[in-house]
Structure 1
Amino acid sequence: MAIDDDFVAQYSKRLILQYSDKPKAIGEIAARLESISNTYSFIDSFSDEFDLDQAYGHRLDIIGKIVGISRIVRNAIPKAYFGWDDGIVPDPKTFSEGALFDLFYDAGYTSTQLDDNQMRTFIRAKISKNIASAYLANDERVTLQQSIMFLFDSKAYVVDNYDMSLTIYLDAEYDLDNLILLNSQDLIPKPQGVTYKGYVVVFDENTFGFAENPNAETFGMGKFAELLPI
């Protein structure tokens, strides 16, 4: 890595007078400063290399290890089973697509590996869960509402049901596969002792509602919110 001439000149001025104009002395300083500069540049690059929005691959794995997140999410995805159209197996698959059910060892779920985008979401979820306060509104700490909006890219908000339960309302554009994974690993922030009663998908436009909501559509035109069975 090339060393800035001004950087070398500043240190050259610190030489005692008898060596101040000696090429070898100045060259020695430049050689030593190159090593120091390379080390500084390497350390300085950490802020970019390990920035959660920019990191990828192995760097994300390192960040995940620091906060306690692995790329392998075990027993998170419901298995698709082989079956016939007789109603016994829900959404049956063909022999080449579906798994065979094992009565004694089958837990009904399979593991998956997170891609980089999912890994970032999981890391954010773990951080959000660790730092969020138990209140929807709080002037001193990061609130639960802020954590939920941060985690779901401003596509969700949380409502207190006043019965030790919460409900999350999600924009229909949000990737529901991520929600299923986060929920399976208990990574969605919430106060201790409080549960999530449900997750509801809502639509920004053409949503059915009543007259007190000026943005709502009538029964024949509006879409109904959907309660997710997870």
Structure 2
Amino acid sequence: MKNVERTIISQYANSPIICGLISNINEYLDPSLDIEQFYNIIWNLDTAEGIGLDFWGNVVGIQRNVQIDDKNQFIGSTLASDDLKEYQAGRVHLMNDTMFRSMIFLKAMSNIIYATAPNINRLLQALFEKRGRAYFVKNGTMQARYVFEFRLTPVEKAVLISTDLLPRPSGVLVDFYEPDIRNTFGFTEAELAPFGQGAFYIGDR
């Protein structure tokens, strides 16, 4: 410990025995390594693992164990048919550290966000900027949609289906869509298919 003498309260500061014991212990024990490990494994969410992530999950209100639901809220995906063969409905799935860390960040941001479309889109941009475009759009009266222009992993889709992690405005029905960008008609600048090579997307199921 650095400056160990400053940690001794004044009534013992002139006791040679107590000061000697503290000085000797300070030479034999170095708490800096334990403090660093505590910070990396427990306190720093970017590097936390195991019990550290379990702690943070309790803080934000999400569990590592997820009960998989078989309802298919993902339009344009094979979830609940192919993907859920691995994540059977009714079974409990245990998220690994990498997945759980991502869901903790998502839940933490969802807990404090004011659920308007601009705020939700800023959240999605921050979360998925390295993966691709993801955005929140209104697609009907009291209806909205999360659109992912990249493929979420099967476990990501299973967790999103079985939990209520992503924010939604009060009273709004929300679903999820994974468009097949390469086969959807649009403009070249948006990396969509040109004339004669893609279908219009009209937003219906």
TM-score by length of 2: 0.65
Deviation of residue 47 (structure 1)? 4.1
Q: SS of the residue aligned with 2:178?
A: strand
Q: 1:208 aligns with which of 170, 176, 185?
A: 185
Amino acid at match of 2:141: D
Q: TM-score, normalised by structure 1?
A: 0.59
**Matched ranges for 1:1-230 at <5 A:** 3-4=1-2, 7=3, 27-28=20-21, 30-31=23-24, 38=31, 46-49=38-41, 50-76=43-69, 109-137=90-118, 143-153=119-129, 155=132, 156-161=134-139, 163-203=141-181, 208-210=185-187, 215-221=191-197
CA displacement at 1:42 relative to structure 2: 5.1
Letter in structure 2 aligned against 1:76 = D
Asked if the contact 1:122/1:182 (under 8 Å) is kept, the reply is no
3-state SS, counterpart of residue 150 of structure 1:
helix
Residues in 1 aligned to 2:47 and 2:70: alpha-carbon distance in whole angstroms: 28
Q: Which amino acid aligns with 2:40?
A: D
Does the CA-based 8 Å contact 1:77-1:181 persist in structure 2? no
CA distance in 2 between partners of 1:115 and 1:224 (Å): 38
The SS at the match of 2:117 is coil
Q: SS at the partner of 2:146?
A: strand
Partners of 2:172 and 2:28 in 1: CA distance? 55
Q: Which has the larger radius of gyration?
A: 1
Flag the 1:206–1:108 CA change in 2: closer, same or farther, 3 A: closer
Gaps of 5+ in 1: 79-89, 92-96, 99-106, 138-142
Question: Quick check: 2:60–2:111 contact (8 Å CA) kept in 1?
Answer: no
CA deviation digits over 1:175-222, x for unaligned, max 9? 24302311221211111211214423354x7853158x5754314555
- What CA distance in whole angstroms lies between the structure 2 residues aligned with 1:108 and 1:45? 38
Taking a change above 3 Å as real, the CA distance of residues 223 and 153 of structure 1, as seen in their structure-2 partners, is farther
The one-letter code sitting in structure 1 at the alignment partner of 2:124 is I
Question: How far 1:144 sits from its partner (Å)?
Answer: 1.6
Taking structure 1 as reference, are residues 9 and 72 closer, same or farther at Cα in structure 2, changes over 3 Å only? closer
Q: Which has the higher helix share?
A: 2
Deviations 1:43-81 (A, max 9, x none): 676443322221111211121122222221113368xxx
Contact 1:169 1:199 in 2 (8 A): yes
Identity fraction in percent: 28
**Cα displacement string for residues 134-168 of structure 1 (whole angstroms, at most 9, x for unaligned residues):** 2233xxxxx22122233445531112336222222
Pairwise CA RMSD: 4.4
Total equivalences in the alignment: 187
CA distance in structure 1 between the aligned counterparts of 2:190 and 2:67, rounded to whole angstroms: 45
* CA pair 223-150 structure 1, distance change in 2 beyond 3 A: farther
Report the CA distance shift for 1:151/1:35 in structure 2 as closer, same or farther (over 3 A). Answer: farther
SS in structure 2 opposite 1:109? coil
Instruction: Structure 2: state its 5+ residue gaps.
Output: 72-80
How much does 1:28 deviate? 4.5
